Amino acid sequence: MQEDAFQRGEPLMSILERLDSGQIRSRDLVETALRRIEDPDGQGPVAYCQVYRERAAWAARQCDQLRAKGESLALTGIPLSVKDLFDLIGEVTLAGSVVLKDQEPAASFAPAVERLLSHQAILMGRTNMTEFAYSGLGLNPHYGTPLSPWRRHERRIAGGSTSGGAVSVAEGMAVAALGTDTGGSVRIPAAFCGLAGFKSTSRRIPREGVFPLSRTLDSIGVIAPTVQCCRYLDRVLSLAWPQEQDKPRGRWFEDAEERQITPGRGASMLKDLRVGVPQSYVLDDLDPEIEHAFGRALDQLGHAGVRVDEVPIEMLMEIPEHYEQGGLLAIEAYALHRRLLDQQREKYDPRVAVRMEGGRGRLASEYLDLLDKRRDFIRAFEACCREYDLLAWPTVALLPPRLDKLQDDDEAYFSTNVRVLRNTAVTNFLDRPSLSIPLKGRRDAPIGFMVSAPSMQDRRLLDLGCALEPILRK
H or E element that contains 219: strand 219-224
Rounded CA-CA distance 104/108 in Å is: 12
Task: Please check whether residue 85 is in contact with residue 210, taking contact to mean a CB–CB distance below 8 angstroms.
Answer: yes
Task: Please check whether residue 107 is in contact with residue 134, taking contact to mean a CB–CB distance below 8 angstroms.
Answer: no
Rounded CA-CA distance 229/155 in Å is: 28
Q: How many CB atoms lie within 10 A of CB 367?
A: 17
Which is the catalytic residue, given 72, 161, 202, 238? 161
Query: What order do you get walking across the sheet with 48-51 strand by strand?
Result: 48-51, 122-127, 79-83, 176-181, 219-224, 196-199, 434-440, 446-452, 390-394, 274-278, 307-311
H or E element that contains 155: none
Closest Cα partner for 101 from 109, 88, 92? Answer: 92
The backbone torsions φ and ψ at residue 453, rounded to the nearest 5 degrees and listed phi first, read -130, 165
Write out the DSSP string of 415-456: HHHHHHHHHHHHHHHHT--EEEEEEE-GGG-EEEEEEE-STT
Q: What CA–CA distances, in Å, run from 106 to 20, 74, 90? A: 35, 26, 5
Cα 430 to chain centroid, rounded: 17
Q: What CA–CA distances, in Å, run from 278 to 33, 391, 451? A: 41, 8, 11
Which is the catalytic residue, given 148, 163, 168, 185? 185
Contacts of 164 (CB under 8 A, 6+ apart): 46, 47, 48, 49, 81, 83, 84, 127, 128, 129, 146, 158
Rounded CA-CA distance 200/452 in Å is: 10
- Catalytic residue flag (residue 185): yes
- Catalytic residue flag (residue 108): no
Which is the catalytic residue, given 26, 72, 81, 83? 83
Q: Radius of gyration of the chain from Cα atoms? A: 21
Rounded CA-CA distance 222/203 in Å is: 15
- Would you name the residues annotated as active-site residues? 83, 161, 185
